Amino acid sequence: MSELEQGNGQRPPTPVSGVDDGGHRRLAPRPLERPPVDPTLSTAFGRPHGVDGAFAGRAQAPQQPVTLAPPTPEALSSAFGRPPGEGGTRLQRPPNLDASGEPEVEPVFWEGEPAGDAWRDPGASAVLGPPAVGEDPAKPADAPATPGPQLSVPELLFGRRVKPTALALLLVVVLAVGSAGGLVGWALGRVGNPLTDGSVTLAEVKTAKERPVGSVADVASRVTPGVVSIEFKGASIAGVGSGVVIDGAGYVLTNDHVVAPAVQDSSAKLTVVFTDGKRATARVVGRDSKTDLAVIKVEVTNPTVIQFGNSDDLQVGDTVLAIGSPLSLSNTVTEGIVSALNRPVTAAGENGGPAVTYDAIQTDAAINPGNSGGALVDSSGALVGINSSIRTETGGSVGLGFAISGNYARRVSQELIREGQVKHADMNVNVNSVSAETAEGARVQNVPADGAAAAAGIVENDVITKVGDRLVRNAAEFTVAVREHEIGETVPVVLARQGRELTLQVTLRSD
């Protein structure tokens, strides 16, 4: 039994050869340990059965009989064999080898001629010499070089000279071939599309279209030159509005909100553009922010001027034209009717300023942003309103446009041209709109002590229902009703106080 099989199967410590164990004894070398091999791995990676080394023995190929070549024919042997008397393995001597063993030297081909000729002696050194063609001794050295002969057209095209008759004949042939090809193509084109006819000429109406006086085309052709586009452009603002030329000196009536951005921005510039493309710089004459009207002036000669009409003669259903530059589209004309009269309109003021209130003409003629300040004319071409605003929930025209009354615009513009500002009649009282089951009007909120209303005996909570001949149904209508009168004029005011109706005489003052 070996040491591995004794005891618990563990191998006792084995001394290592050449190592002292402390008792001055040499330890024996440790036996080689061979762990057991897995049979599966042995089957997959072990040596084949019967192979002891790392390589398998080479199998001996069966011996095949060797077939010897037939003997060389005598004719070939005598022609290509070694000369008689030479050994078996010595190489054949060159035929020009002399008896001393040195090859014979072939004589040079220039035998008997000078060996210094570089064209014959391959061993001669290379020397740069003069050009192969010598200079003409009859020609001066500083004479300018004469250009060589130029090529003619036939030489350039064909590489050699061609007779003129041949060239003309070739040109005639080319023209004939091109003409024939064009005729064939034309014929094929006509045959390929039988629906076309090159001889057809459409009939033309010789007489012009008749436009009676008073038609939309007639009114537009007469009025459009008097309506201008107003452009304002600054460092941070830009826009387009419309205006109406109301005087031959170059005065243009427009909306205050068209020129207000240019006035508020010192870097902005106002430019008026006429229908013929002429441009002119404009200056502000005067503004009335309470009624949204302004007058500017340009330096022009002989402009087309629009004449004012009487807007009080308008009736609902009358035909009107709106002319201006909606959405920056200049010289735009739209047609509609008067939808309502004396419609009080209130809009927010510019940059938090006082509210804009005016008595408007309502129309269903298409009015869009850019129409502001443009003309509203009747069927005769007379100016009856200044287009100012629209009422919409979509941002575009829905047939609810408003224009400032022409009569009121004429009075304000004339005052602006004369004085540069406008004063309005005022009752010096603050009101708001109220309505009840039986009546509606403007209720007084407060009455300044030194105002026209206080002097006439109007007190807070009075409900004003009529100013002069005009009914008052809300605060906006109260404002326009008062402004219809002149400063210093005394007008009757009907109001309700504690269930009783009173009529007071109020002398209007300036705002």
Residue tagged active-site, from 292, 359, 364, 378: 292
In three state form, how does the secondary structure of 184-234 look?
HHHHHHHHHCCCCCCCCCCCCCCCCCCCCCCCHHHHHHHHHHHEEEEEEEC
Q: How many residues does this entry show for the chain?
A: 511
Cβ 381 vs Cβ 387: under 8 Å: no
- 3-state SS class at 437: coil
Report CA 168 to chain centroid distance, whole Å.
57
Cβ 401 vs Cβ 430: under 8 Å: no
- 3-state SS class at 383: strand
Give the Å distances, CA to CA, from 279 to 229, 276, 384, 408: 10, 9, 26, 29
Rounded CA gap, 203 and 408, in Å? 53
Active site residue 433: no
Long-range contacts of 409-415 (CB under 8 A, 24+ apart): 409/253, 409/293, 409/385, 410/308, 412/288, 412/291, 412/293, 413/246, 413/251, 413/253, 413/293, 413/295
User: What's the DSSP call for residue 308?
Assistant: B
Give residues with Cβ within 8 angstroms of 490, minimum separation 6.
505, 506, 507, 508
Rounded CA gap, 124 and 288, in Å? 114
User: Which residue in 391, 411, 406, 373 sits closest to 256, CA to CA?
Assistant: 373
Here the tokens at position 297 are: 């002036």
Active site residue 24: no
Dihedral of CA atoms 350, 355, 357, 362 in degrees, nearest 10, equals: 60
Residue tagged active-site, from 229, 242, 339, 372: 372
**Beta-carbon neighbour count of residue 347 at 10 Å?**
15
User: Which residue in 328, 314, 295 sits closest to 360, CA to CA?
Assistant: 314
Sign for the CA dihedral angle at 416, 421, 426, 431 comes to positive
Cβ 506 vs Cβ 491: under 8 Å: yes
Give the Å distances, CA to CA, from 380 to 310, 319, 366, 373, 445: 11, 10, 19, 20, 45
Residue linked to tokens 């024996």: 28
**Beta-carbon neighbour count of residue 468 at 10 Å?**
15
Rounded CA gap, 381 and 375, in Å? 10
Sign for the CA dihedral angle at 257, 260, 261, 262 comes to positive
Residue tagged active-site, from 257, 288, 339, 359: 257
Active site residue 267: no
Residue numbers annotated as active site: 257, 292, 372
